């Protein structure tokens, strides 16, 4: 049977070799709007990896439509760089597309030399905390023309297609939404008037590039905004764009950046929003691309076979593994490294104005820096102690350099704390990554020994030239009176199912582990997806009661934190979803609250100067971690060359261990 992912497809006059689309995403790699070597190298690698069509961007259409970290398409001086980028993609086997956009009210005055961002109406933006200036009709007409001019520049630069971003809360969708469009002229009021700006933009683009040049639109299937556009109006908008602006294809995403519904985090089911692509596909007659959390290629195939879409957009999966398409085509899917949707290196870096990186792939964003890793002319005997992500990537990096590498892991499996991070419901992606990394390592030249507790004597007998200490961290046991009682447990043991907890639980510690543990406990006893589907289809209970059964667990969970806020060590793109989940699942939490002592009745706390008892059957300790690096001192005393990496050096995020380990491995 032919693999549906690897059948060609046509968009207008352009034929694409397969159904895999890399959609545009923020890389933060442009330099004052100019294409850089880092951008070219990033996309070159994805083209070489077998992607059918790559969309870069977004790219700007005027000097108020983005930031200097965006690719520029608003001046002729950017054409040479655009030409080089398109050429890199096409010469390495992929079709080259570029997305054009105007950020509208999502821009910051910081990037506009203090000027206000612009929008259809002066409605404050919850994302930027700024209020845009209302565009005049003359300015609107100029922006419409600028979209067309930018599209022509991109065509002249050699791109095979252009895509217009008409969703996600940017300017076109801001005109479309009654939330942000309060105008009383022909661009506001009725739905027909609010659609006018987007339609005129696409008409301008079409007139500039000609009838046989592919024009795509990235559109929200649902904006997920209360009082916003909604599914039905989005379908009408898509139909209008096809009929009145001759759009050739739609890439369907979901949600504005301001929406309070998770869209890309691990808790979102894989392909959970694909139904929106289906609804657009049933409305229009041109190809439709589904996107959001399509990380499983079997699901991607089903979406195409079942007529939910014509192509699949894989963004972060292709950051994690640029060679995913080739591996799938060649029957090597067990070698794919999957994205975990953590957001640590992609989304969080956008907010930090940093170039993207990846927890699952230390080379992502560093393609120029690492390039083709050359084999050393003086191979060494390298010993890596610890098989977490840091240790695995240290071993792989050293092996890539041509060293003879051995890795000792004290347990019977690889992955380290990924195996704990993946235990709460909705976090299973981390377990998949642990399995991926184990497959890659065991298939490499690295020799792996399980059940090996490293001692100095063992290391001396091994006689390595260099040792990498990747022994990770261990949970902290704080000095709280009564902490040694049998109803007190470490969060790691609770998540691993080594202990059981009672009905009323107090979690001490409001960092990432504490929050994840509290949510996990609060969810216990709730309906899962299969239960819900059965009960809903058979109308066993009314939908509102079913929702209650989905969010009301069997445990009463309280979390306390000494600091003034919860989850300070959680990335910005994920933290708000976890705080939301605590509220949804009924976790009570208190900040500026210190545990004084634990008794059989519960936890006595100092709550802002007042002593209180929080009743509990079980107490869970999530007070953080401390580096486990006792071996390093012994190696130093024995004059054995070594380097301590990851949590063993400094407790941080998993992404830090990945990059720390790989850099250590290739630097030997």
372 pLDDT exceeds 90?
Answer: no
Per CATH, the number for 374-475+627-666 is 3.40.50.720
Give the pLDDT band (50/70/90) at residue 582: very high
Which residues make up the CATH 3.40.50.720 domain(s) of the chain?
374-475+627-666
CATH architecture classification, 488-623: 3-Layer(bba) Sandwich (3.50)
Strand partners, 469: 385, 644
Residue 201: per-residue pLDDT: 98
Domain 4-368: which CATH number of 3.40.50.620, 3.20.20.70, 1.25.40.10, 3.40.47.10: 3.20.20.70
Cα distances (Å, whole numbers) of residue 346 to 37, 256, 654: 19, 17, 14
Name the maximum alpha-carbon separation found in the chain: 82
Query: Which of 230, 223, 233, 220 has its CA nearest to residue 192?
Result: 233
1 pLDDT exceeds 80?
Answer: no
89 pLDDT exceeds 80?
Answer: yes
Residue 402: per-residue pLDDT: 96
Which residues make up the CATH 3.20.20.70 domain(s) of the chain?
4-368
Residue 500: per-residue pLDDT: 94
pLDDT tens digits for range 396-407 = 999 999 999 999
Query: Which of 351, 163, 193 has its CA nearest to residue 257?
Result: 351
Give the pLDDT band (50/70/90) at residue 353: confident
Q: Average pLDDT in the 343-353 region?
A: 89
Which residues make up the CATH 3.50.50.60 domain(s) of the chain?
488-623
Question: Does the predicted model carry a pTM greater than 0.85?
Answer: yes
Nearest-angstrom CA–CA distance, 48 and 91: 9
Highest averaged pLDDT of the listed ranges 142-146, 427-431, 651-655: 142-146
Task: Give the position of tokens 């655009």.
Answer: 82
664 pLDDT exceeds 90?
Answer: yes
274 pLDDT exceeds 90?
Answer: yes
CA angle, 18 as apex, 1 and 347 as ends, to 5°? 120
Query: Which of 85, 96, 93, 97 has its CA nearest to residue 36?
Result: 85
DSSP for 120-175, written as a single string: SS-PPPTTTS--PEEPPHHHHHHHHHHHHHHHHHHHHTT-SEEEEE--TTSHHHHH
Q: What is the mean pLDDT of the chain?
A: 96
Nearest-angstrom CA–CA distance, 335 and 331: 9
Cα distances (Å, whole numbers) of residue 238 to 99, 145, 359: 17, 21, 36
Give the pLDDT band (50/70/90) at residue 78: very high
State whether residue 304 is helix, strand or coil.
Answer: helix
Task: Give the position of tokens 């760089």.
Answer: 81
Q: Are 341 and 266 in contact (CB under 8 A)?
A: yes
44 membership: H or E segment, kind and range: helix 37-48
Count of other CB atoms within 10 angstroms of residue 91: 12
Nearest-angstrom CA–CA distance, 629 and 77: 53
Nearest-angstrom CA–CA distance, 191 and 583: 35
573 pLDDT exceeds 90?
Answer: no
């Amino acid at each position: 049977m032919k693999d549906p992912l690897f059948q060609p497809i046509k968009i207008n006059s352009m034929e694409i070799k397969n159904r895999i689309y890399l959609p545009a995403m923020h890389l933060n790699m442009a330099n004052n709007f100019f294409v850089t070597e880092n951008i070219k190298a990033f996309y070159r690698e994805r083209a070489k990896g077998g992607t059918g069509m790559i969309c870069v961007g977004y790219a700007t259409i005027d000097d108020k439509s983005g930031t200097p970290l965006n690719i520029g398409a608003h001046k002729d001086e950017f054409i040479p760089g655009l030409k080089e980028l398109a050429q890199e993609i096409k010469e390495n086997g992929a079709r080259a597309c570029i997305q054009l956009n105007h950020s509208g009210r999502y821009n910051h005055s910081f990037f506009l030399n203090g000027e206000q961002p612009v929008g259809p109406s002066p409605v404050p933006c919850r994302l930027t905390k700024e209020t845009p200036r209302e565009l005049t009709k003359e300015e609107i007409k100029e922006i419409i023309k600028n979209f067309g001019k930018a599209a022509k520049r991109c065509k002249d630069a050699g791109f095979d297609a252009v895509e217009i971003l008409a969703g996600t809360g940017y300017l076109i969708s801001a005109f479309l939404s009654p939330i942000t469009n309060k105008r009383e002229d022909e661009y506001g009021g009725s739905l027909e008037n609010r659609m006018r700006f987007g339609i005129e933009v696409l008409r301008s683009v079409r007139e500039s590039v000609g009838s046989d040049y592919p024009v795509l639109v990235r559109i929200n299937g649902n904006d997920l905004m209360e009082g916003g556009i909604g599914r039905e109006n989005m379908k009408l908008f898509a139909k209008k764009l096809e009929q009145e602006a001759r759009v050739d294809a739609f890439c369907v995403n979901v949600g504005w950046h301001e929406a309070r519904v998770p869209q890309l985090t691990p808790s979102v089911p894989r392909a959970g929003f694909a139904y929106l692509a289906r609804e657009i596909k049933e409305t229009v007659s041109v190809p439709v691309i589904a996107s959001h959390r399509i990380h499983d290629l079997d699901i991607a195939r089903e979406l195409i076979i079942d007529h939910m879409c014509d192509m699949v957009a894989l963004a972060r999966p292709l950051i994690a593994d640029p060679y995913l398409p080739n591996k799938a085509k060649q029957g090597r899917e067990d070698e794919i490294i999957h994205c975990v949707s953590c957001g640590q290196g992609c989304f969080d870096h956008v907010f930090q104005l940093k170039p993207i990186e990846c927890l699952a792939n230390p080379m992502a964003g560093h393609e120029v820096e690492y390039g083709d890793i050359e084999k050393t002319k003086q191979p060494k005997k390298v010993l890596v102690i610890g098989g977490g992500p840091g240790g695995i990537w240290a071993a792989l990096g050293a092996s890539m350099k041509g060293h003879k590498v051995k890795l000792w892991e004290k347990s019977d499996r690889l992955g380290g704390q990924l195996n704990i991070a993946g235990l709460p419901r909705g976090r299973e992606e981390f377990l998949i990554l642990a399995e991926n990394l184990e497959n890659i390592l065991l298939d490499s030249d690295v020799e792996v020994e399980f059940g090996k507790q490293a001692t100095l004597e063992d290391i001396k007998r091994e006689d390595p030239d260099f040792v990498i200490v990747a022994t990770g961290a261990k949970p902290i046991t704080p000095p709280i009176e009564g902490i040694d009682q049998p109803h007190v447990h470490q969060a790691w043991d609770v998540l691993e199912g080594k202990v059981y907890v009672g009905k009323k639980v107090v979690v001490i510690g409001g960092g990432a582990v504490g929050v994840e543990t509290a949510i996990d406990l609060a969810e216990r006893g709730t309906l899962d997806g299969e239960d819900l589907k059965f009960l809903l289809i058979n109308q066993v209970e009314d939908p509102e009661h079913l929702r209650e059964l989905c969010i009301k667990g069997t445990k009463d969970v309280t979390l306390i934190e000494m600091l003034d806020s919860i989850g300070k060590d959680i990335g910005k793109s994920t933290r708000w979803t976890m705080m939301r989940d605590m509220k949804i699942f009924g976790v009570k939490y208190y900040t500026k609250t210190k545990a004084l002592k634990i008794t059989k009745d519960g936890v006595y706390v100092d709550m802002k100067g007042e002593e209180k008892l929080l009743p509990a059957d079980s107490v869970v300790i999530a007070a953080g971690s401390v580096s486990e690096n006792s071996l390093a001192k012994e190696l130093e005393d024995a004059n054995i060359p070594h380097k301590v990496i990851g949590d063993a050096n400094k407790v941080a995020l998993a992404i830090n261990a990945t990059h720390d380990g790989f850099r250590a491995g290739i630097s030997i």
